[in-house]
């Protein structure tokens, strides 16, 4: 089957199985083309809440599909690549957060959405990279514990200096590997390019950027900007999508090393097989009981209430 034929089959199977396909922007272009919804973690959470289809197939990583399940418990939610997890989501345990809470019970615990459901269950509010600054500002409490990404946490601290924000040691191995030298090299090679970055990068890298924001924020900035060239400091797929969306502009990845191996586990044939599995049985389904959902969804709902 050619890529085109497989995409057509996927579109047919989506309708046959009454499935909506949600795609994170770190997926490849051939998957983006068959998406019902594509975007950053925040947009996909909101999209998941308002779907008419009875099944959701998520192309992304496990915590994203889990979030979709929490927001649409009456639907069956499937993940296209069973092994796709986010290493950051599993860096901390609920026991560790509970011990920090016991140490400083007056702090509001803010969890990046890149966390497991069991971690979300012991936090007060979730944030995504697009909503973190706005939500932390909106919280009544001035004392915050921000988990698990200390780089995104530093970005929030810088933008909300009036609050006392405690960080923990955690983060994204893909973004945290970017260095000041990578930025200097890219700027030397492309002196006219603006530098757009995801705030999961280290603070010294993010500080060199002309714009820092979520994957959707970076795409929107590049599309709107009058500039013609951009260095993209996040996963390679963002530069790939932008090349299709703005064929007259030039996009350079900050480094060829910006590949999230987990996001790249999903291929177009996986999406096709998952839809066959939804129809005939065998697709990887996210299973959560009502009690787990009730405990974990509170901080997602709080995020949507404060960030929407
Ligand atoms: P976004 O919320 O910007 O899509 O980021 C998700 C993510 O995993 C970034 O590494
Ligand atoms: Fe997780 Fe980093 Fe991959 Fe995003 S890029 S899913 S934070 S490992």
Could you read off the pLDDT of 128-156 as tens digits, one per residue? 998 999 999 999 999 999 999 999 999 99
The residue whose C-alpha atom lies closest to atom 4 belonging to ligand 1 is 40
- With a cut of 70, say whether residue 113 has pLDDT above it: yes
Instruction: Tell me if 40 CB under 6 Å of ligand 1.
Output: yes
Q: Which segment of 31-45, 91-105, 156-170, 271-285 scores lowest on mean pLDDT? A: 31-45
**Partners of residue 146 on adjacent β-strands:** 110, 167
Instruction: Tell me if 129 CB under 6 Å of ligand 1.
Output: yes
- With a cut of 80, say whether residue 307 has pLDDT above it: no
Candidates 1.10.357.10, 1.10.10.370, 3.40.1370.10, 3.40.50.10800; CATH matching 178-253: 3.40.50.10800
> pLDDT over 90 for what percent of the chain?
93
Yes or no: say if 288 and 69 are a contact pair by the CB < 8 Å rule.
yes
The rounded Å distance from CA 184 to ligand 2 centre is 24
Q: Which ligand is nearest to the CA of 44?
A: 1
Higher pLDDT, 130 or 249: 249
**Alpha-carbon distances of 121 from 127, 210, 265, 296, rounded to whole Å:** 14, 36, 27, 4
Burial (Cβ within 10 Å: 0-12, 13-18, ≥19) of residue 50: exposed
pLDDT given at position 42: 79
Q: Which atom of ligand 1 has the smallest separation from the CA of 25?
A: 4
CATH 3.40.50.10800 domain locations along the chain: 3-85+263-288, 94-171, 178-253
Give the model's confidence band at 47: pLDDT under 50 very low, under 70 low, under 90 confident, else very high.
Answer: confident
Mean pLDDT of 20-34: 96
Instruction: Tell me if 235 CB under 6 Å of ligand 2.
Output: yes
Mean pLDDT of 44-69: 91
- With a cut of 70, say whether residue 246 has pLDDT above it: yes
pLDDT given at position 103: 95
Q: Which two tokens stand for residue 214?
A: 């979520």
| Closest among 82, 83, 80, 139 to 108, alpha carbons compared | 139
> pLDDT over 70 for what percent of the chain?
100
What residues contact 24, with CB distance under 8 A and at least 6 apart?
Answer: 38, 39, 40, 41, 44, 59, 60, 61, 64, 215, 263
Mean pLDDT of 177-185: 97
What residues contact 124, with CB distance under 8 A and at least 6 apart?
Answer: 108, 109, 110, 299, 302
For 3-85+263-288, give the CATH class.
alpha beta
pLDDT in tens, 273-295: 999 999 999 999 999 999 999 99
Architecture of domain 94-171: 3-Layer(aba) Sandwich (3.40)
Mean pLDDT of 192-218: 96
- With a cut of 80, say whether residue 71 has pLDDT above it: yes
- With a cut of 70, say whether residue 308 has pLDDT above it: no
Separation of alpha carbons 36 and 14, rounded Å:
10
Give the model's confidence band at 249: pLDDT under 50 very low, under 70 low, under 90 confident, else very high.
Answer: very high
pLDDT given at position 39: 87
pLDDT given at position 49: 81
Instruction: Tell me if 201 CB under 6 Å of ligand 2.
Output: no
The rounded Å distance from CA 140 to ligand 2 centre is 30
């Amino acid at each position: 089957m050619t890529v085109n034929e497989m995409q057509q089959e996927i579109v047919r199977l989506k309708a046959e199985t009454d499935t909506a396909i949600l795609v994170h922007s770190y997926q490849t272009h051939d998957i983006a083309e068959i998406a019902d919804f594509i975007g950053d973690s925040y947009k996909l959470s909101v999209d998941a809440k308002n779907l008419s289809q009875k099944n959701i197939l998520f192309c992304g990583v496990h915590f994203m599909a889990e979030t979709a399940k929490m927001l649409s418990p009456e639907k069956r939610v499937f993940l296209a690549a069973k092994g796709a997890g986010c290493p950051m989501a599993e860096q901390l345990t609920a026991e560790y957060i509970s011990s920090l809470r016991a140490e400083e019970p007056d702090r509001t615990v803010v969890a990046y959405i890149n966390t497991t459901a069991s971690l979300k269950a012991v936090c007060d509010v979730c944030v995504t990279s697009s909503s973190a600054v706005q939500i932390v500002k909106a919280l009544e409490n001035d004392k915050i514990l921000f988990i698990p990404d200390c780089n995104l946490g530093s970005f929030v601290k810088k933008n909300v200096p009036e609050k006392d924000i405690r960080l923990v040691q955690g983060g994204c191995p893909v973004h945290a590997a970017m260095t000041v030298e990578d930025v200097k090299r890219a700027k030397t090679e492309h002196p006219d390019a603006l530098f757009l970055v995801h705030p999961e990068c280290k603070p010294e890298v993010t500080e060199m950027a002309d714009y820092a924001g979520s994957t959707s924020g970076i795409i929107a900035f590049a599309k709107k900007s009058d500039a013609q060239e951009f260095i993209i400091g996040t996963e390679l797929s963002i530069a790939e999508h932008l090349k299709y969306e703005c064929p007259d502009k030039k996009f350079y990845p900050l480094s060829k090393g910006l590949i999230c191996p987990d996001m790249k586990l999903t291929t177009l044939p996986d999406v096709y097989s998952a839809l066959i599995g939804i129809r005939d049985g065998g697709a990887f389904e996210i299973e959560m009981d009502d009690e787990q959902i009730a405990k974990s969804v509170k901080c997602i709902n709080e995020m949507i209430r404060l960030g929407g």
